[in-house]
Amino acid sequence: MKILVINGPNLNMLGVREPEIYGSFTLDDIEKELKQYARELDFSIDLEFFQSNFEGEIVDKIQNALDKFDGIIINPAAYTHTSVAIADAIASVNIKTVEVHLSNVYSREEFRHNSYIAPKCLGQVAGFSKTGYKMALLGLYEALK
């Protein structure tokens, strides 16, 4: 089972800036923890990680996932609230996708309450910090196996 994990703009700054909002762990810590969790769930889970600050690169990555990946976990970061292009890309490939947010976007500013991505997804996890990625993987795994 091949799962693509996409992280959007500025998430490469995790652990470097604003630890009071997003925590002091890095994107690398999330990747290591998720790989370990995947092994505990099922040895046949194969994870690939991708981070980009560019909307078009994320669209390209989703399009190229067609026929290569069984599922996608995505934290679209700020593009959650702006990107019709990423939402359309997810809908076009028809790969089961779960949206993740580190923070509880619904307890933050109003503009973070809308997601263009969530309606194209199997589900959404928000507010559980880096554990949210494991929750997303479990949900996706149960839906795909």
Q: Is 88 in the site for ligand CA2 (CB under 6 A)?
A: no
For ligand CA2, the closer CB: 12 or 144: 12
Does 79 participate in catalysis according to the annotation?
no
Cα–Cα distances (Å) from 44 to 39, 135, 142, 145, in that order, read: 8, 18, 13, 11
The catalytically annotated residue of 79, 101, 116, 133 is 101
Among 62, 65, 72, 77, binds ligand CA2 (CB under 6 A): 77
Neighbouring residues of 86: CB distance < 8 A, sequence distance ≥ 6: 55, 58, 59, 62, 74, 76, 79, 116, 117
Binding mask 3-42 for ligand CA2 (x = CB under 6 A): -------xx-xx--xx---x--------------------
Both structure tokens of 46: 């194969």
| d(C-alpha 62, C-alpha 142), whole Å | 21
Contacts (CB under 6 A) with ligand CA2, residues 89-108? 101-103, 105
Catalytic (active-site) positions: 22, 101
